[in-house]
Chain A
């Protein structure tokens, strides 16, 4: 059947179109920035024949400080994040994704829910224990990110990421984000680390090391254990990483560990004393 493009102005409408499409044995997808949908379809790596443009849904376009939270809608572009700069760590991470012109189109939701496994935009959300608002046919649910994100967002069929909430107290914490590439300053990440100090503890989230981004809880436990020397902590942390460690054209797994070791040192340098 032929490709179709539809627009939804409300969440209900979006969900309805999705369900209808599925019932016709077709393949729907929500369309925000759409960059991944277009590029992966072109090389036959994505089977989507109905796109449901959600950019007009009001809730997906919220981007503001509320009383206790920063609220970011899933359709907010990465450029918008940078220009508004409500959360400097998020700005710093988003600024390194793709390039500026592409970021005028790539959305926070699209980057987090995409097939391409880096999903770097999720790192600050993982660090800040953010809360996600998801909408499905039966209604809206609010979930603590760590309950619904495991390398990727575990969405039910037809479910839509609507918004993310970050508690305001995180926005002003000390942070560091470093993106290391195979060479120089452009290209996919070799490793991207984002780290934050909260309640005296360093928090770390990593992308590019494995074929999924993750909050490195084990690593945190170890590097916050000041009874060990810095070197001991880093060595031990490197032994407590998820698997697999990527081994690909960007770099080998051994080299990634070498790079991570240096990044952990830089994180400790930056955040330990503050």
Chain B
């Protein structure tokens, strides 16, 4: 028996995902796979106007339909919401976006529910549609929410009375007015990004059942089961211990499933039928346009630098299209303000980040949490400014990089733990892209190959008082069960947690059984599976739990071996005497207590726990924005190489490159997959994804054949390189990794295309038609 642990480390090892076999055999269960033939079906009755007063709702005929068990309207329901309680669960008096749910039909089968839904007659009085965030800001724009200030809201959210602005975040660092007047080189540009969507492969679904003693059981495809629990409890006044939310595997979320949406309908439906089990399931069209979407942005960037290229001041106005209800978007706009400049040292920063109401589907978080949007605007402005001073755009980034010792827009003083090394990323990108060979190469008369770059950074702004907990129990054979409230949405983090535990316990990762499904009653809370904070928070909780387990094992071991706890070590599922490893006791003999030869028993099952809270975070000062929003900034440099036909404006992305400072990599192939997957999402979003609205605020492309994610064969060649500047608070120094691949990609693409045709492109998506139009405009139609 091996006494000393083999020098196998799990750090960096591409351990196969623990749920691999379930997923490749089709056995993995997602919410809608729980067929529940004992469930009633819920059909959503949706608004056919984007903005209208509801004059009447006739449900008599529908109610008479055989097989209909209940019809629910929005009267007498409390308002709900996340950081602002502004949303009626079912529209009442007014509808504020096309597709907003007005009523629910609960029936025996889907066809019956659909039939009855069609018999519900709603009379509307149309109102003027606010179809863009800029329109929302106009003086005479209709007010979508009359009593903004009356809404209950979290701290740190500042609505503006008499407007459609639900949040105004200010960054006032240094003295921008003074700097801008200095006669430095300046550029000012406006950028537009329309609303788009997460389009997870699994559409949202939820089941709900309410038991005799009032226990509300919900099964849902969610990134935030604990938030579902909180909202149902808080807003519907259900004792919190009586709300139990379960989440099995989730087929992608990317932030969209962090918002609580269908679960509310499931709860209301079950309640209306005396607690019977109900099932609600989004069709693709509903998932795209009725459930929350990916926020849009209108940005104005003013950027100034010295003649030598040192950035001096930035004045930014970011207007986010939050849609009809606030949900998470006030936080999104705050996050946009926090990292409003990209990873550069700028002493004078003025930013106004506004989150506004429009008659669009409302926004939930989307991968990058406003960073992709903000970076498109800022990094395009950087390229425009670099061109103005005739400086190489990559070199321009390099000389302006933010370093430890510098301050961020919210005036956090950086350390090398708090931020990755942007310069190293840039230098490595330069090599990988063979930047010295030139940015533009003519292939033929019309065809060119062009390179574009960008830099990015991202911290999280998930607010103070969020925590993650882990419980470990032992099996009688000495193996360990790991329970964490982190949801397996595809990131592979559940496997990484097992790796961390295996590393701490110096045992085989195969002997760690990770509970994949989450339930809020028996699995400790992980705040939400978002923000690329899974590894940090749940990972630290695992490490704390491992420490606890080791302590408890050593305590038992000390008794059994009759030595001091301080002389013991743990490895290979044994507790052994450091000085003489031949004196050991295996886990299996102590994890269920220990029995002496004479029959006396001591101890019991060893249960270990640990938790982790982000510490030191503060709210932002309402006037200056100063504050500490999150634990660390991961940084990256991105490059895109395209081949473009300058006559037709059609292009192909040849290569996409990201050099990202992840601090440490815990599972190499999983991390690579996350980075590349994020890049792929960024490419599709930048090049093709957008919702098209007609003048009535209706989405014209609500199917996957008209709203098009990237498809196999359209993918470029990817290259990813990883820099390692550790975040000292994180497990083994690992920074968040899930979102960063995406953040700078739209900007890099925009920069490449703009360079290719010598026209500044300022909006997404970067379709050939959009490029053609902007080129024509710039060349006055010649």
CB of A187 closer than 8 Å to a CB of B: yes
Whether A255 lies near B706 (C-beta < 8 A) is no
In the bound complex, residues from chain A placing their C-beta under 8 Å from that of B713 are 185-186
Q: Chain A 86-114 against B: per-residue CB contact (8 Å), 1 yes, 0 no?
A: 00000000000000000000000000000
Q: Counting chain B CB atoms within 10 Å of each CB, which of A180, A186, A262 scores highest? A: A186
Min CB distance B144 to A, Å, is 25
Min CB distance A41 to B, Å, is 12
CB of B647 closer than 8 Å to a CB of A: yes
Whether B706 lies near A183 (C-beta < 8 A) is no
Partner of A186, one of B701, B708, B768, B773: B708
Whether A183 lies near B767 (C-beta < 8 A) is yes
Whether A184 lies near B705 (C-beta < 8 A) is no
CB of B424 closer than 8 Å to a CB of A: no
Q: Across the two chains, which residue of chain B brings its CB closest to A252?
A: B769
Partner of B772, one of A185, A188, A248, A258: A258
Contact A186 B714, CB 8 Å, known A251-B769, A258-B772? yes
**A 213-272 contacts with B by CB, 8 A:** 248-249, 251-252, 255, 258-259, 262
Whether B772 lies near A184 (C-beta < 8 A) is no
Min CB distance A238 to B, Å, is 16
Whether A249 lies near B701 (C-beta < 8 A) is yes
Q: Chain B 696-735 against A: per-residue CB contact (8 Å), 1 yes, 0 no?
A: 0000110001101001011000000000000000000000
Contact A187 B705, CB 8 Å, known A249-B700, A255-B769, A262-B648? yes
**A 152-193 contacts with B by CB, 8 A:** 180, 182-188
Whether B705 lies near A182 (C-beta < 8 A) is no
Q: Across the two chains, which residue of chain A brings its CB closest to B690?
A: A249
In the bound complex, residues from chain A placing their C-beta under 8 Å from that of B692 are 249
In the bound complex, residues from chain B placing their C-beta under 8 Å from that of A249 are 692, 700-701, 706
Q: Across the two chains, which residue of chain A brings its CB closest to B769?
A: A255
Whether A184 lies near B706 (C-beta < 8 A) is no
Q: Across the two chains, which residue of chain B brings its CB closest to A99?
A: B711
In the bound complex, residues from chain A placing their C-beta under 8 Å from that of B772 are 255, 258
In the bound complex, residues from chain B placing their C-beta under 8 Å from that of A258 are 772
CB of B687 closer than 8 Å to a CB of A: yes
In the bound complex, residues from chain B placing their C-beta under 8 Å from that of A252 are 769
CB of B652 closer than 8 Å to a CB of A: yes
Whether B688 lies near A182 (C-beta < 8 A) is yes
Whether B706 lies near A188 (C-beta < 8 A) is yes
Whether A183 lies near B648 (C-beta < 8 A) is no
Q: Chain A 38-66 against B: per-residue CB contact (8 Å), 1 yes, 0 no?
A: 00000100000000000000000000000
In the bound complex, residues from chain A placing their C-beta under 8 Å from that of B706 are 187-188, 249
Whether A184 lies near B714 (C-beta < 8 A) is yes
Min CB distance A189 to B, Å, is 12
What is the bound-complex CA distance between A252 and B768, given in angstroms? Answer: 12
Min CB distance B336 to A, Å, is 27
**B 731-782 contacts with A by CB, 8 A:** 765, 767-769, 772-773
What is the bound-complex CA distance between A188 and B707, given in angstroms? Answer: 11
In the bound complex, residues from chain B placing their C-beta under 8 Å from that of A188 are 705-706
Q: Across the two chains, which residue of chain B brings its CB closest to A262?
A: B648
Q: Counting chain A CB atoms within 10 Å of each CB, which of B647, B687, B706, B768 scores highest? A: B768
In the bound complex, residues from chain B placing their C-beta under 8 Å from that of A182 are 688, 767-769
Whether A259 lies near B687 (C-beta < 8 A) is no
Whether A185 lies near B705 (C-beta < 8 A) is no
Min CB distance B656 to A, Å, is 14
What is the bound-complex CA distance between A273 and B394, given in angstroms? Answer: 47
In the bound complex, residues from chain A placing their C-beta under 8 Å from that of B650 are 180
Q: Across the two chains, which residue of chain A brings its CB closest to B683?
A: A184
Min CB distance A214 to B, Å, is 23
In the bound complex, residues from chain B placing their C-beta under 8 Å from that of A43 are 285
In the bound complex, residues from chain A placing their C-beta under 8 Å from that of B773 are 255
In the bound complex, residues from chain A placing their C-beta under 8 Å from that of B705 are 187-188
In the bound complex, residues from chain A placing their C-beta under 8 Å from that of B647 are 262
Q: Chain B 197-214 against A: per-residue CB contact (8 Å), 1 yes, 0 no?
A: 000000000000000000
Min CB distance A8 to B, Å, is 27
What is the bound-complex CA distance between A186 and B688, given in angstroms? Answer: 11
**B 625-661 contacts with A by CB, 8 A:** 647-648, 650, 652
Whether A185 lies near B714 (C-beta < 8 A) is yes
Min CB distance A260 to B, Å, is 11
Min CB distance A180 to B, Å, is 8
What is the bound-complex CA distance between A154 and B699, given in angstroms? Answer: 33
Q: Across the two chains, which residue of chain A brings its CB closest to B694?
A: A249
Q: Chain B 669-701 against A: per-residue CB contact (8 Å), 1 yes, 0 no?
A: 000000000000000000110001000000011
Whether B700 lies near A183 (C-beta < 8 A) is no
Q: Counting chain A CB atoms within 10 Å of each CB, which of B700, B713, B767 scores highest? A: B767
In the bound complex, residues from chain A placing their C-beta under 8 Å from that of B700 are 248-249
Min CB distance A179 to B, Å, is 12
Min CB distance A224 to B, Å, is 24
Whether A184 lies near B769 (C-beta < 8 A) is no
Whether A183 lies near B687 (C-beta < 8 A) is yes
Q: Across the two chains, which residue of chain B brings its CB closest to A187?
A: B708
Min CB distance B312 to A, Å, is 38
Min CB distance A26 to B, Å, is 18
What is the bound-complex CA distance between A268 and B12, given in angstroms? Answer: 57
In the bound complex, residues from chain B placing their C-beta under 8 Å from that of A185 are 711, 713-714
Whether A184 lies near B701 (C-beta < 8 A) is no
What is the bound-complex CA distance between A248 and B652, given in angstroms? Answer: 23
In the bound complex, residues from chain B placing their C-beta under 8 Å from that of A180 are 650
In the bound complex, residues from chain B placing their C-beta under 8 Å from that of A255 are 769, 772-773
What is the bound-complex CA distance between A255 and B772, given in angstroms? Answer: 8
In the bound complex, residues from chain B placing their C-beta under 8 Å from that of A187 are 705-706, 708
In the bound complex, residues from chain B placing their C-beta under 8 Å from that of A186 are 708, 711, 713-714
What is the bound-complex CA distance between A187 and B687, given in angstroms? Answer: 13
What is the bound-complex CA distance between A258 and B768, given in angstroms? Answer: 11
Whether B768 lies near A183 (C-beta < 8 A) is yes
What is the bound-complex CA distance between A186 and B711, given in angstroms? Answer: 7
What is the bound-complex CA distance between A43 and B765, given in angstroms? Answer: 28
What is the bound-complex CA distance between A184 and B715, given in angstroms? Answer: 10
What is the bound-complex CA distance between A122 and B647, given in angstroms? Answer: 30
In the bound complex, residues from chain B placing their C-beta under 8 Å from that of A184 are 652, 687-688, 714
What is the bound-complex CA distance between A182 and B772, given in angstroms? Answer: 12
Contact A183 B765, CB 8 Å, known A188-B706, A249-B701, A255-B772? yes
Q: Across the two chains, which residue of chain A brings its CB closest to B773?
A: A255
What is the bound-complex CA distance between A43 and B118, given in angstroms? Answer: 12
- 8 extra interface residue pairs, beta carbon distance < 8 Å, beyond A186-B714, A258-B772: A183-B765, A184-B687, A184-B688, A185-B711, A186-B708, A249-B692, A252-B769, A255-B772
Q: List 28 A-B contacts (CB under 8 A).
A: A43-B285, A180-B650, A182-B688, A182-B767, A182-B768, A182-B769, A183-B687, A183-B708, A183-B765, A183-B767, A183-B768, A185-B713, A186-B708, A186-B713, A187-B705, A187-B708, A188-B705, A188-B706, A249-B692, A249-B700, A249-B701, A249-B706, A251-B769, A252-B769, A255-B773, A259-B648, A262-B647, A262-B648
Q: Contact residues of B with A, CB < 8 Å?
A: 285, 647-648, 650, 652, 687-688, 692, 700-701, 705-706, 708, 711, 713-714, 765, 767-769, 772-773
Q: Contact residues of A with B, CB < 8 Å?
A: 43, 180, 182-188, 248-249, 251-252, 255, 258-259, 262
Q: Which 5 A-B pairs have the closest CB atoms?
A: A255-B769, A183-B688, A249-B692, A186-B711, A183-B767
